[in-house]
Amino acid sequence: MSEKLIEMVDNAGVVRLTITRPKALNALNSAVLTELEALLTELEKRSDLRALLITGAGEKAFVAGADITEMRTKTPEEARAFASQALRTIKRLETLPVPVVALVNGFCLGGGCELALACDWAVASDNAIFGQPEVLLGVIPGFGGTQRLPRRVGPAMALDLVTTGRKIDAQEALRIGLVNRVMPQAELEAYAEELTKQLAGNGPLAVRSAKQAVHDGMDQDLDSALALETSLFALGFAGSEQKEGMSAFVEKRKPNF
Ligand code: CO8
């Protein structure tokens, strides 16, 4: 059997995926994407899933991009198929019904940055480096970067990054809203634990609905998006979670979701 490229650890519904190709700085080749898509296909069916963390093995890189060695000799048709596979996989990550956190522990370039852009959270170590350097290789981002980056940081900064290919440090990534938090690498793990504990401790259906409202609403006009919010808000009153959450408040105790 071929060696696994993604390590999965499941801690009571908080799942951590580690892309494990440290010798190639965790670059995304078609084998990694195939494995990632298969894992996400299984995870999206799980009602006990609370949160997903995704990271890269080693201390140098989250993901240094799509695999340049594999891409080098591709024909336009092969490049299209590779990009389609990546887009489909990354979309699955984006639409997973629970919060997805990118733990960015180093280089986060090209396809790596595009992977992080599909996550709900990005927490970066202070030595992380971000960028869409594709133009330096004679191509453009092909894993969603030209579309998700402007939606995350605005068109001016996205155009700056995708047309110059320049790399930015974690502080600049924080300033432009590409990541949520920056901290020393030694503190990243403890923070991830604290964050997932917090996410997993909240009402699971409420967290899923909150994610759905934000994601689905972003693609709609404001009135339709507000109607979606109202529907999901009302639906929250149909189950036990709302009763427990509000009773706990009134009874001055912690909710038990
Ligand atoms: N693909 C394949 N191998 C890689 C990649 C990559 N993206 N990045 C690093 N590696 C490999 C290196 O080749 C090297 O391997 P070896 O030891 O066998 O020579 C090993 O990882 C370590 O890398 P370096 O020796 O280069 O380490 P440095 O510390 O000197 O540099 C950098 C680190 C700056 C991260 C450097 O490796 C680098 O610039 N990497 C490439 C970054 C990049 O350009 N990424 C974007 C790729 S393109 C993309 O992601 C989207 C394309 C659009 C898809 C279109 C679909 C067809």
Sheet bearing 6-11, strands edge to edge: 6-11, 14-19, 51-56, 100-104, 121-125, 181-183
pLDDT, position 15:
97
pLDDT, position 1:
53
Digit-coded pLDDT (tens) for 152-202 = 999 999 999 999 999 999 999 999 999 999 999 999 999 988 998 899 889
User: What type of residue is 102?
Assistant: A
Query: For residue 28, what is the DSSP state?
Result: B
Nearest CA to ligand 1 atom 29: 60
| Cα 66 to middle of ligand 1, angstroms | 8
Digit-coded pLDDT (tens) for 92-136 = 999 999 999 999 999 999 999 999 999 999 999 999 999 999 999
193 assigned to active site: no
pLDDT, position 193:
87
Q: Please pick, among 134, 187, 189, 194, the residue that the annotation labels catalytic.
A: 134
pLDDT, position 196:
87
What sections of the chain are H helices per DSSP? Answer: 30-43, 68-71, 76-94, 111-117, 145-153, 155-164, 170-175, 185-201, 204-218, 222-235, 240-250
Domains and CATH numbers, the chain: 6-200 (3.90.226.10), 203-250 (1.10.12.10)
Digit-coded pLDDT (tens) for 35-67 = 999 999 999 999 999 999 999 999 899 999 999
pLDDT, position 45:
96
Q: Does residue 90's CB lie within 6 angstroms of at least one atom of ligand 1?
A: no
Q: How far apart are CA 84 and CA 119, in angstroms?
A: 18
Per-residue pLDDT, averaged over 65-92, amounts to: 98
Q: Is the pLDDT of residue 220 over 90?
A: yes
ipTM of the complex: 0.98
Q: Does residue 131's CB lie within 6 angstroms of at least one atom of ligand 1?
A: no
| Cα 47 to middle of ligand 1, angstroms | 37
134 assigned to active site: yes
